[in-house]
Structure 1
């Protein structure tokens, strides 16, 4: 057998965080260090849940000696029992010579009607016709549809009868958890706050939560909803490389990922010639990969049956109507930017023509904006602890029969404008996220509101695009009322970023609020006023527009905002500026400050001098980091001096700072909700425009208030 697995270097044990300690304490035996999968995988082409099933048996511990012994055991099991296709003849020889041998392989079973027996086919071993007893099929019906990874004992007995297959199935055990304790799961959940629980789930998926914004974490969690919610219809379209299909192929033994072009009515729903039920009858989730593509050929009959199934959870077999619980997921790649799609078509434009149909699209409960999901990079993978995926898959499956969709109604009421289908979509997304995040139902009003807003946005993205395709449909006001009667509007992020394109051809809202400041494209050299052309004579310079006063909020994940639009106009003409911000400690925070210094320098006359004072707090994480902070600030002081800006720093006690703000001697006071740290983490690649231009960076959610002091 191949020993290449043993060539993978040992993973060095990462420093265990407080969260990892708590995870091992409250979920002993069902969590595993996530970097171990790479350590044991080698060249074994098996799903993650298969490897973690084995790791869960032998390495579910935080004791380093136990982990290393478990890795060695799993490697040995893979080396001796996993079947590589290139070595199938060697494995068959081993079975023949020994008489019996254990293998790990994907097994699919079919019914041989002529012989009235079930027969198994082993994908990698390359043998077929192996007789399977009926009790095995009754216990594991998924063997009949798509195949299941199993640990099997295969025996060999040759017969002179050429019709007799020499391979005999001694035993078969599908690789999935047999049972778990629901009460223990719910009790242990109470030991985590919401932030810790979200991070545990992110680590269970395999990602490092520190690399994701809260909004980015929620997109990953929405991908789990089809596993916990029956008949949930989800679509995600976005750029390549964002991990859209990973969860549906690797995360759970209850999900089936198929190529969008490989599905047929008999395979998906029912084969009328023999009455055999298709994938939706056996799998919790059926995901269609590579679903996008305008020119893809589609089966109209399949589209019609799918529409009926997505709406009514049923399909027909001749005169008989059958029901199923499988959730449907559609993932595909987009080839254009969001503003391009909004300007020229809609956000469903990449779908095959037969699916670009309001009747089909209206069945979708949620649209994940894949363009907001980061392209997967190496540093985004976790080396912390997370659930053995087979365990969390069983947890999610066990909750599919529960309904949490009404848990918001004691605090909030949906808009009466919202139709039954819109309401169903919102309810299903809300219910799914509640079951994932708060399985015991204990959630505060603020936590419930966060989930409700996210659920409304996911359905609004679907409905708004349908309205662009079918203008006869009535417009909907998406939002909710709280118990005080206050109306809360919900908007999609692309609606906030590109209002001109988003509302193209739509009725304008009366008394539409003033748009937040955004930048022109730095690559285009600035914006051109409406009606102007490059041959127009230069117009007289217009007076400076009056600066906005009041409060504005910016959404997490929003783009198109920079210091040049947000702050610099308010600082022009000032000769004394004071910034109060306790968090100018780390490299990216110091970089933000330096970028503001650059903006101030561009906005002043070269001969003018500006005094800039920073009031901040010394880094409390040790002398080494405090020294590094001072080095950053000294470098800024040196660079600012060259630009005609006298930069000074005052370090104060943390309790002395109450509000983060900027004040000028021209009378402006700007209250900064997050200080200058408003941008999310970037890849720091020299080839990423966001590294150079702030307007291409994603924001953290924050508020800002502009106040102007009037002189007596």
Structure 2
């Protein structure tokens, strides 16, 4: 275990589990993760390895004996008959038989129906009446000659979810973690390795949790396939339900007027619509109208009666086009069915997760560290629905008066949700509060900016906030910074400086021109369109000697960065010229020999194309600043050195993030181009 895993086990004993165990026990059982983690939480919520191994075997045995596979349902029914009584794990739904005035259960995998259920069980677990609940149940068999009676008897039923938890203990334990540690704990709880994500990407993942802890939160996420958009809503919590967008009807979602039966929004904390995008999908106009009213007012009508509900609604769907294509030719909602492509409906969305920023899920992204048993976290999030943290920024910041009530509501609900997830104890610093507020504003701005494209009646809004010192800070979306020519109807002149450091649009890198200037550039996390060619190439052209000072050219991916830098040097030198590149770095403490071998390989390869590479290890241990020097007078100062890209699949030759840098999301970094003294640079280069 690493230091964080040890800390997690210390402060949450018995409430955390090693996340790789779910795959170990799942086998071919088609069962949600929270069901497996419920069982793992009973037997494996420890850091003691022998206990974990024993627990795994116990859980596997329970699944083997009691989980009902559809293709083995006949065998299980036989076991119940022969033994008289048998325990099963299955998804159970209940319906009222009004002719017989009894409640009857249906077992999804076991394939038995009309199993009598007493009223007390239904009152204790009303979700049984809507779409079903995963349960551990004892089923008995008693044959009767009455053709109308079922031989199956439900003797006991226990929904798979936590029975109790200590909220105050949770809040107190949170205080023992730094903000970064807490974020990493939550990311591991979702099942991901936090080392594979930047800060912005981690927060994007955690925004998906807000519908579970914030009442009536309206969220949309559209992006490429394979980014895990629907995973949390189907696997994470017993209080959320994922349904196909094509299967939604008014009676199923809201109320059946003929029976008076309340729909999904009355029973679930979060109702998510999968596969929501698709221009050709048929949609009931009445559903859209009721949905609009519910998303705005938390109410829906049943005949003459108006009912309220607290369920948050989430819409997830796949986009067919790239981000710049959508911005140039349409808008970010263009993939939605026509009847949902309605400005009044879209205006009720509180936050738009930029799905194109979320990386496609790869095997290396999953965690083998410790995280909360998801059922425990699901209960904590559910209890947080009773709190309101939306005013926690108002001591430090004030939203612009230009922001409408509906925009303000979206910002406040997102901010409240993020505070609940990250700071349930309220212990956030002013800087941390500002970061969350900026993210909340950005997500609502993304919605409003697209509405202005769709409907000309929407006026321009200044999404900004006022600091206590009177400074106004403007908010822009990342795609606005990347593609200003497409994002705005007129070519953007860039940032006016009011929101701190201006972020360079990726498109601007292509327009370096013949006269190079001193400049300072800032890049946001997840920004794309950046490459060594566009960033460094023009400043390396014409140089005959280049020195790279970077103490972190040690690990394989850092070596690859340096190799790609050499490729840029090759592309920008004349074929009949040679360039000398000198690397100053530090020796890897554990894999120094491998490091030397890789550097020698690069030296040999580069020499064959006219680039003479030399390298040396700094023995003083004093180099920290990372920069590039050229003999024709440029110093390029890099706060991250060449390590500007996030993790990507380096072993897959057939993906473009591997082949072309401009398709990789970058880390947040800054670079400064300084016109240095030519003679001074040459003296440094000689050393």
Contact persistence 2:484–2:492 (CA under 8 A) = no
Give matches, 1:394-543, under 5 Å.
394-503=379-488, 505=489, 516=504, 518=506
SS of the equivalent of 2:339 reads helix
TM-aligned CA deviation for residue 316 of structure 1: 1.1
Deviations 1:307-346 (A, max 9, x none): 0000011111122211111000001111111111111111
Per the alignment, residue 320 of structure 2 pairs with: 335
Give matches, 1:128-527, under 5 Å.
128-503=113-488, 505=489, 516=504, 518=506
SS of the equivalent of 2:673 reads strand
- Cα distance in 1 for partners of 2:28, 2:503 equals 54
Of 568, 575, 583 in structure 2, the residue corresponding to residue 599 of structure 1 is: 568
- Cα distance in 1 for partners of 2:496, 2:514 equals 19
The answer to whether structure 1 residue 567 and structure 2 residue 552 are counterparts is: no
Contact persistence 1:571–1:664 (CA under 8 A) = yes
Q: 1:578 to 1:313 in 2, by over 3 A?
A: same
Q: 1:181 to 1:517 in 2, by over 3 A?
A: closer
Deviations 1:272-308 (A, max 9, x none): 1121111101000000011111111111111000000
Q: 1:509 to 1:661 in 2, by over 3 A?
A: closer
- Cα distance in 2 for partners of 1:518, 1:289 equals 32
- Cα distance in 1 for partners of 2:503, 2:385 equals 42
- Cα distance in 2 for partners of 1:337, 1:84 equals 40
Q: 1:334 to 1:30 in 2, by over 3 A?
A: same
- Alignment length (residue pairs): 674
Per the alignment, residue 73 of structure 2 pairs with: 88
Q: 1:691 to 1:37 in 2, by over 3 A?
A: same
Q: 1:572 to 1:64 in 2, by over 3 A?
A: same
- Cα distance in 2 for partners of 1:254, 1:233 equals 16
Per the alignment, residue 653 of structure 2 pairs with: 686
Bigger drift between 184-193 and 571-580 goes to 571-580
Deviations 1:593-642 (A, max 9, x none): 2222222233233343433333322224x2xx222222232233333333
- Cα distance in 2 for partners of 1:510, 1:131 equals 68
Scaled by the length of structure 1, the TM-score of the pair is 0.91
Per the alignment, residue 550 of structure 2 pairs with: 581
SS of the equivalent of 2:398 reads strand
The answer to whether structure 1 residue 631 and structure 2 residue 597 are counterparts is: yes
Contact persistence 1:108–1:120 (CA under 8 A) = yes
Q: 1:442 to 1:160 in 2, by over 3 A?
A: same
Per the alignment, residue 697 of structure 1 pairs with: 664
- Cα distance in 1 for partners of 2:404, 2:491 equals 19
- Cα distance in 1 for partners of 2:330, 2:223 equals 15
- Cα distance in 1 for partners of 2:351, 2:138 equals 44
SS of the equivalent of 2:580 reads strand
Bigger drift between 279-288 and 673-682 goes to 673-682
Scaled by the length of structure 2, the TM-score of the pair is 0.94
- Cα distance in 2 for partners of 1:499, 1:520 equals 9
TM-aligned CA deviation for residue 259 of structure 1: 0.7
- Cα distance in 2 for partners of 1:454, 1:510 equals 20
Per the alignment, residue 5 of structure 1 pairs with: none
Contact persistence 2:214–2:413 (CA under 8 A) = yes
SS of the equivalent of 1:496 reads helix
The answer to whether structure 1 residue 616 and structure 2 residue 585 are counterparts is: yes
SS of the equivalent of 2:135 reads strand
Q: 1:125 to 1:544 in 2, by over 3 A?
A: closer
- Cα distance in 2 for partners of 1:465, 1:87 equals 51
TM-aligned CA deviation for residue 512 of structure 1: 6.4
Contact persistence 2:485–2:491 (CA under 8 A) = no
TM-aligned CA deviation for residue 445 of structure 1: 2.2
Q: Which runs of no fewer than 5 residues in structure 2 stay unpaired?
A: 680-687
Q: 1:482 to 1:665 in 2, by over 3 A?
A: farther
Contact persistence 2:217–2:350 (CA under 8 A) = yes
Q: 1:105 to 1:305 in 2, by over 3 A?
A: same
* Aligned-residue RMSD, C-alpha: 2.2
Contact persistence 1:582–1:654 (CA under 8 A) = no
Q: 1:64 to 1:515 in 2, by over 3 A?
A: closer
Q: 1:446 to 1:628 in 2, by over 3 A?
A: farther
TM-aligned CA deviation for residue 646 of structure 1: 3.6
Bigger drift between 153-162 and 641-650 goes to 641-650
SS of the equivalent of 1:649 reads strand
Of 648, 652, 664 in structure 1, the residue corresponding to residue 630 of structure 2 is: 664
Q: 1:493 to 1:657 in 2, by over 3 A?
A: same
Contact persistence 1:234–1:330 (CA under 8 A) = yes
TM-aligned CA deviation for residue 548 of structure 1: 3.3
- Cα distance in 2 for partners of 1:57, 1:18 equals 24
Contact persistence 2:503–2:523 (CA under 8 A) = no
Contact persistence 1:517–1:565 (CA under 8 A) = no
- Cα distance in 2 for partners of 1:95, 1:595 equals 65
- Cα distance in 1 for partners of 2:433, 2:504 equals 27
Bigger drift between 271-280 and 296-305 goes to 271-280
Per the alignment, residue 685 of structure 2 pairs with: none
Bigger drift between 237-246 and 253-262 goes to 237-246
- Cα distance in 2 for partners of 1:423, 1:122 equals 45
The answer to whether structure 1 residue 651 and structure 2 residue 620 are counterparts is: no
SS of the equivalent of 1:102 reads strand
- Cα distance in 2 for partners of 1:511, 1:519 equals 14
- Cα distance in 2 for partners of 1:618, 1:412 equals 47
TM-aligned CA deviation for residue 552 of structure 1: 1.4
Deviations 1:393-442 (A, max 9, x none): 00110101111112222222222221111111111111111111111111
Deviations 1:104-137 (A, max 9, x none): 1111111122222211111112222222111111
- Cα distance in 2 for partners of 1:166, 1:580 equals 79
Give matches, 1:36-185, under 5 Å.
36-185=21-170
- Cα distance in 2 for partners of 1:483, 1:548 equals 36
The answer to whether structure 1 residue 547 and structure 2 residue 516 are counterparts is: yes
Give matches, 1:16-31, under 5 Å.
16-31=1-16
Contact persistence 2:189–2:374 (CA under 8 A) = yes
- Cα distance in 2 for partners of 1:438, 1:175 equals 28
